[in-house]
């Protein structure tokens, strides 16, 4: 994939009102909502996302530049969300919402772990959004994609599939070209094999964490967005991520 040739046609964004000309920072949360997340994990995710949304609205530095899109994989497949609303597959409606207007979805957990397809969709919507921003004369910071899962990639029947391996060279090329920054986070009881998948997908920004520290994860994404706005170097992002991996509460830069 390249910036000039996204895998999907540019999405129409006329239904969302972006009130300012601030430089944009697209952020995609790519979240596992498969059946293994049922119970406390999905409850923790919902509560953390609700709290983070409130914090985002109150952050003057981020609320008018960050654009949030959500992709889930679970249930009947993969789903893009425009704020709290799931979008129909193949729709031309943009999932990106300006942070000051973003409202969190409320998720339920079911289904299988179509991680590969979800990550491909995340890359597609980032490329389409960048095309749209350029067409309207708006600048953007490097987008961020945050992948969160507690399991292994599966096919539609729930069986492990190695199809994720096709993404490794694509992601390496995209990272080298600085087209986005990918974070791959394993939570809960993710296995050693699951952790190895995340390391292969995101060699620099991967983590395997105990439990479901979604609050800390979202705070880390806000800290990274702020660093991106300041034009920080790679070492700053690596420091922020290192602090997150050790689950320290401070996000100094």
Confidence of residue 21 (pLDDT cuts 50, 70, 90): confident
Domain membership of residue 250 (yes or no) is no
What confidence score (pLDDT) does residue 63 get?
92
Domain membership of residue 16 (yes or no) is no
Residue 84 pLDDT exceeds 80: yes
With a pLDDT cut of 70, the percent of the chain lying above it is 89
Tokens representing residue 88 in the block: 């129909």
Domain membership of residue 198 (yes or no) is yes
Confidence of residue 20 (pLDDT cuts 50, 70, 90): low
Residue keyed to tokens 């105990």: 210
Residue keyed to tokens 């920054």: 181
Rounded Cα distance, 249 and 237, in Å: 16
- The pLDDT tens digits for 112-153 are 999 999 999 999 999 999 999 999 999 999 999 999 999 999
Domain membership of residue 17 (yes or no) is no
Domain that holds residue 225: 25-245
Instruction: Taking residues 26-40, report their average pLDDT.
Output: 97
What confidence score (pLDDT) does residue 250 get?
42
What confidence score (pLDDT) does residue 246 get?
82
Rounded Cα distance, 81 and 94, in Å: 9
What confidence score (pLDDT) does residue 174 get?
96
User: How many independent structural domains does the chain possess?
Assistant: 1
Q: Is the model more confident about 9 or about 21?
A: 21
Domain membership of residue 251 (yes or no) is no
Confidence of residue 19 (pLDDT cuts 50, 70, 90): low
- The pLDDT tens digits for 189-238 are 999 999 999 999 999 999 998 889 999 999 999 999 999 989 999 999 99
- The pLDDT tens digits for 181-191 are 999 999 999 99
Domain membership of residue 12 (yes or no) is no
* Orientation angle between helical segments 40-58 and 214-229, nearest 10 degrees: 30
Domain membership of residue 14 (yes or no) is no
Domain membership of residue 50 (yes or no) is yes
Residue 3 pLDDT exceeds 90: no
With a pLDDT cut of 90, the percent of the chain lying above it is 79
Residue 33 pLDDT exceeds 80: yes
Residue 40 pLDDT exceeds 60: yes
Q: How do beta strands 97-98 and 66-74 pair?
A: antiparallel
Rounded Cα distance, 73 and 88, in Å: 14
Half-sphere exposure in the Cβ direction for 27 (13 Å, CA):
27
CATH of the domain at 67: 3.40.50.410
Rounded Cα distance, 253 and 240, in Å: 7
């Amino acid at each position: 994939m390249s910036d000039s040739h996204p895998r999907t046609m540019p999405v129409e964004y006329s239904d969302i009102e972006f009130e300012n000309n601030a430089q944009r920072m697209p952020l995609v949360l790519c979240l596992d909502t498969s059946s293994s997340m049922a119970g406390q994990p999905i409850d923790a995710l919902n509560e953390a996302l609700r709290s983070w949304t409130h914090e985002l609205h109150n952050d003057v530095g981020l609320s008018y530049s960050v654009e949030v899109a959500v992709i889930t994989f679970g249930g009947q497949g993969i789903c893009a969300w425009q704020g709290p609303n799931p979008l129909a597959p193949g729709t031309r409606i943009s999932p990106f919402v300006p942070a000051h207007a973003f409202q969190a979805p409320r998720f339920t957990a079911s289904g299988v772990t179509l991680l590969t397809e979800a990550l491909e969709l995340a890359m597609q919507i980032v490329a389409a959004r960048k095309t749209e921003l350029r067409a309207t004369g708006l600048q953007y910071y490097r987008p961020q994609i945050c992948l969160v899962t507690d399991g292994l990639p599966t096919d539609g029947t729930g069986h492990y599939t190695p199809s994720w391996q096709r993404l490794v060279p694509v992601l390496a090329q995209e990272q080298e070209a600085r087209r986005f920054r990918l974070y791959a986070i394993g939570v809960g009881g993710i296995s050693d094999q699951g952790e190895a998948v995340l390391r292969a997908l995101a060699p620099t920004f991967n983590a395997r964490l105990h439990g479901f520290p979604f609050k800390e994860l979202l705070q880390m994404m806000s800290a990274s967005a702020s660093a991106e706005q300041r034009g920080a170097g790679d070492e700053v992002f690596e420091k922020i991520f290192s602090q997150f991996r050790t689950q320290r509460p401070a996000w100094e830069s």
